[in-house]
Each structure stands twice: as C-alpha cells, then as structure tokens.
Structure 1
Amino acid sequence: MPSYPVNKISTPDEQINILQITDLHLSTPVAAHINGSGYNDAGNCQRSFETVLQQALSEDIRCDLIIVTGDLVNKVRLATYDHIFAVLQATNIPFVCIAGNHDVTDEDGEHLPFFQRSLVAQPADSRLLSRHRIEGDHWQLLLLDSSITGKVAGEVTTTDIDWLCDCLDACDKPALIALHHHIIPVDSDWIDTHMATNTESFWEHMAPFEHLQVIISGHTHQEQVRYRQGVTVYSTPSTCYQFKPYSHDFAYDESGLPGYRWLQLANNGKVASWVERLDT
C-alpha cells in the first residue's frame, strides 16, 4: 500500500494521470435508512463519493494519483476522515488531500439561510497537507492549503507565495498547483465573494514562471476552464451536489450530476483534461 503522503511519482511512460475529486461533504455517522430526493443530503453524499471513485477507477485509464481538493467533510469529525482515508487507501493508488473551508469551519444552524448561520473555527485534521510538493519524472505538483479557520473564503498567503516561488525557482519542470478556493472569479456573485484573497499578488508573483502550466481547485461545485498568464485554471464539480453556474444568488444545479476531473500530464509538458459525470 502506498505511503501517505506521496512525495515522488514515477510511471513507465513518464506521464502522470491524475484523478481530481473535490467537495465530498461527507457526514458521519450516516444511517443506512437515510434517503433523499437529491444529492445534497448526508446519505447521498457518502454514496456518490464512493460511486464516483468506483466509476472513475473502472475506466480504461491508468490512475497514478488521486488529489482531493478540500471540503472532505460537512462537519469536522475524526470518524469521517477515518472513513474517507480508509476508502482511498483501499484503492492502493497514491493520494493526497488538502483542506477546504468545511475542513476548518463548522456551520451551525444549517436549517437557516446561509447568512444567518454561525461559523465555528475548527482545527484541521493532521492528514490534510499544506505546502506539499510531489516530484514526477517531468512535472512538479504543488499543493496549498487555502483555508482559513472560521471562514468560508480562503487566502493565498504571502508565505504560500514565497514557498511557491522557491519551488518554481529551484525546479524548471512544468508545474501544477492544487488548492481548494478558486483564484479567478467564476461569474457567480455569491461564491465569488468567498474565493481566495490576495490573488492579485499571487498572479503578479507567478508571472515570471512560464513553466507554471495548470491550476486546479474545488469550492465552486461546477465545471469551468479559465486562462490567465498562459496558465489553464480548472474548476471541478463536486462528487455530491452542484451549484448553478453563473447564478448571482445561491442556487443548486438540480440537473447537475456528481463529477470528477481527469488530468493527463504528458512527458513533453502538454496537458489534457476533461470532466466525467456519474452515470445515471
């Protein structure tokens, strides 16, 4: 069984195939009798996470690494993380996990409208990574923790930026950055108020590094592709419920199925990426 966390990846064809899953929002315990009409209930979030993983890993593509980009849980409970890590370890595929806002913040009063809820700061599980580098044959993968305890929005700190600059200065391999919060607006006012802050400083400091190729994130519960400074920036659907794209007010995308993203990092620095949805 691969050790956690993985620090190096080497493959026979020197290509890295990455499965990105995000925004699992699991709760524990989940009673067997819980059912719901949509994916935004506790039982369905757990079932769809495991079904997404099963479907993705049954596809005709070798999976070299699973990256979980935050919001593993809906409320911070040790037993929930234990379950998620057990499921991921059972795949025998190297994986890494970073924190999202729900991994460091509990929302009290979930039956209330969002702005009437209380946000309670929680410590991050020790298995969630911060400023972690994975070296591949031709790529470097840089993982950030953009979460802020007690907050929904995130931040790319000056310390994060310094660390990224050090990594990119020291190694000229093509680079991928993974974090939870989005760093380019997705034209949805309510979620864009909760994106990462300090992003203009981030982009300014990243400008000299032409080998920064890809950024992946979660948080927005939707699929988008954006471009800035020659970098391709991917937003990825949740393994559970989706948010309605381009909606100024909070709204679920009732027709949006759970999803996941594949990234193929080729040995010549090229990238292919696409989203799959859960089979109905």
Structure 2
Amino acid sequence: MAQLGGAVVCGTNLCLGAEHAFDPNKIAILNDTHIGGAHPANAPIPTHLRDTVAWLLRQDRYPAAVIINGDLALSDGRPADYKHLTRLVEPLHQAGIPIHLTLGNHDDRDVFYKVLKEEKRPDATVVSRHVGMVSLPLANLFLLDSLKAPMVAQGLLGAEQLAWLGRMLDEHFDKPALILAHHNPRLGDDEKHFPGGLEDTEALWNLLASRTHVKAYIHGHIHHRDYSQHRGIHIVNTPATSFVLRPEVSTTGWTMAQLTENGAEFMTLTHLRDHPWDGAVRKLEWRSA
C-alpha cells in the first residue's frame, strides 16, 4: 500500500504505469468501508469494496490516487479488520494505483500502525496523527486524521495537526488545496449531524477560510451524499462504500473527482446500478484566489 505521508507527483497529461495509463487529475474517493475481519467473502460490505476495486481496474485510465477516507474498520479497529481490508485492496496495489488512507472514529490508530507498518513514517511531522499530502498537477490534497478516540463518534483534529496544516498550506500555495478528513464539519446544511461532527470546526475553518487557495473540504462519516458551502469553501459529503442506515434516502457507492483548471467534477457511482445517484455529476467552481 502507498504510504500516506508520501507525495505522488504526476505530469500534466498522463502518468504512465508499467502497463496502464493514469489520469493525473482524477481521484477515486471511498469512505466508511467498515471492513470486519470475520466478514464472509460474500457478505455485502466486503462485496461492495471488492466491486468498487473491480470497477476501478476496468477503467481505461486509472486515477492518480485512491483515497479511503476513514472508518476503514468495522467497529473498533481490530487487527483482522485491517488485514482483511489489505487483501481486498491488494489488486489496486498490484496495478500500481497509489492508495492513501485516513482514519475515522471506528479505527484504532495504534492497531492500524501495527498491522500496516509501512503507513507509519519514521520522519512523521505530526507524531500523534496520520497525515499527509498528495500533489497532483491541478491541486494539492491534504489528508487529515480526525480520529479523536476509537468508538467516540465526534472528531477532533487538535492543535498540533492544525498547526501542521497551516504550515503546509502556507508552503504549498501554488495550487488549489483540497482538504480530506473523515468527519463532517459542524457547518453547512446538515445540522442534524453536527453533534457527531468535528469538535474544532471553528478553528479549522478560520484557518482554511483565510487561505484563499483552499477550495474544498471532503468528508464521509454520515453515510450519505450532499454538497454545501461555507465562507466560499465547498463542503462535499461523499457516500459510504459499506452500508447505509436509511436506504430510502441514500445508498452505497464511491466518488470520482475530476480536477479541472477552475474547479472539479464529482461523479457518484453506486452499487445499485439503477439508483438515481449512479453517474450523477456535480460541477463545482473554485472561489477566486
């Protein structure tokens, strides 16, 4: 698996792998995979992830990055959960597609590092958190760790991580910046989910809004899909890969983000092929610098 803390740099037109072309400005976003070590192979949750991986491998051009944005594990982050997840995404690794992982409230950071030893960087700049940056031609992606504690619904970034993010954003102001973390901010239109969201939302948003190259905040956690804005920054809630609690209003799937010069196109793909969300595209324009 690709190390989260490393940077992936692609040329402006194509990234050429050993046998396959990559789109340097396309990102696959998954979240809430909730893989359990005891899940049978044919259970719905691992089947959804397996089907998503198979779809990605059928594309003419691979994405430059696959990001699994938190709640990797089923409940409380057991070793077998991460081992099962690793097996399910191994075909992406074999195809040379970079995989980047963030952590959510159903993960356990210590267990995660014990199983996925390559994810723990000896030169980590934020020792207490799992963070990183991915550099693409049309944007920099900043991957945050909003895990406050295993099985605690609310998220927290903390002062050390926010200070790191501020420094990184100031050092990398030449491109649009997209922020990815598992937890929803306590902002936007979905007030019902504010209590389980990011506790230090205000501090984060003051940091982001003052840096006009920050264009979007992308999260999961809610097991739904919607779009909103706050202080010029797009808030993108991407669907869960694993399951939904209210299938009458939501469904499982993943998101393909195509970066453009002035924004991005977010396409939702669903496991239910006849779902209204499947293939739906939302075009977002970035705020001016």
TM-score (norm 2): 0.76
Residues 83-137 of structure 1: CA deviation (Å, up to 9, x unaligned)? 2223323212101001110013xxxxxxxxxxxxxxxxx7351146722112223
**Take 2:2 and 2:106, find their aligned partners in 1: how far apart are those partners?**
25
**Take 1:72 and 1:264, find their aligned partners in 2: how far apart are those partners?**
24
1:258 corresponds to which of 252, 258, 277: 252
**Take 1:85 and 1:262, find their aligned partners in 2: how far apart are those partners?**
21
Q: Is the 8 A contact 1:226 1:232 kept in 2?
A: yes
- The answer for the alignment partner of 1:24 in structure 2 is 33
Residues 199-231 of structure 1: CA deviation (Å, up to 9, x unaligned)? 111111222211101211110100010111221
The answer on 1:277 being equivalent to 2:264 is no
- Structure 1 residues 171 and 31 mapped into 2: Cα distance closer, same or farther (>3 Å)? closer
- The answer for the alignment partner of 1:143 in structure 2 is 143
**Poorly superposed stretches of 4+, deviation over 3 Å:** 59-62
- Structure 1 residues 124 and 226 mapped into 2: Cα distance closer, same or farther (>3 Å)? farther
Aligned partner letter, 2:269 = E
- The answer for the alignment partner of 1:177 in structure 2 is 179
Q: Which one is further off, 147-156 or 252-261?
A: 252-261
Q: CA RMSD in A?
A: 2.3
- Structure 1 residues 234 and 45 mapped into 2: Cα distance closer, same or farther (>3 Å)? same
Aligned partner letter, 2:147 = S
Residues 58-86 of structure 1: CA deviation (Å, up to 9, x unaligned)? 34553111000011111322222122223
- The answer for the alignment partner of 1:99 in structure 2 is 103
1:187 corresponds to which of 167, 187, 190: 190
**Take 2:249 and 2:60, find their aligned partners in 1: how far apart are those partners?**
26
Identity %: 23
Q: SS of the counterpart of 2:106? A: helix
TM-score (norm 1): 0.79
The answer on 1:164 being equivalent to 2:152 is no
- Structure 1 residues 185 and 232 mapped into 2: Cα distance closer, same or farther (>3 Å)? closer
Shift of 1:269: 4.4
Q: Is the 8 A contact 2:2 2:100 kept in 1?
A: no
Aligned partner letter, 2:211 = F
Residues 3-47 of structure 1: CA deviation (Å, up to 9, x unaligned)? 434412204517420000010111112235x7xxxxxxxx21111
Residues 166-220 of structure 1: CA deviation (Å, up to 9, x unaligned)? 011111121111100001355252x321101111111112222111012111101
Q: SS of the counterpart of 1:181? A: coil
Aligned partner letter, 2:99 = F
- The answer for the alignment partner of 1:4 in structure 2 is 3
Q: Is the 8 A contact 1:242 1:257 kept in 2?
A: yes
- The answer for the alignment partner of 1:13 in structure 2 is 13
Q: Is the 8 A contact 1:99 1:145 kept in 2?
A: yes
Q: Is the 8 A contact 2:216 2:235 kept in 1?
A: yes
**Take 2:58 and 2:252, find their aligned partners in 1: how far apart are those partners?**
16
Gaps of 5+ in 2: 15-23, 120-128, 274-289
**Take 1:226 and 1:20, find their aligned partners in 2: how far apart are those partners?**
18
- Structure 1 residues 3 and 49 mapped into 2: Cα distance closer, same or farther (>3 Å)? closer
**Take 2:57 and 2:253, find their aligned partners in 1: how far apart are those partners?**
13
The answer on 1:81 being equivalent to 2:82 is yes
2:232 corresponds to which of 230, 233, 243: 230
**Take 2:219 and 2:48, find their aligned partners in 1: how far apart are those partners?**
19
**Take 2:85 and 2:269, find their aligned partners in 1: how far apart are those partners?**
21
**How many pairs align?**
243
Matches for 1:104-119 after TM superposition, within 5 Å: 104=108
**Take 1:78 and 1:258, find their aligned partners in 2: how far apart are those partners?**
25
Shift of 1:233: 1.2
Matches for 1:194-209 after TM superposition, within 5 Å: 194-209=196-211
Shift of 1:238: 0.7
Shift of 1:53: 2.3
**Take 1:103 and 1:8, find their aligned partners in 2: how far apart are those partners?**
25
Q: SS of the counterpart of 2:110? A: coil
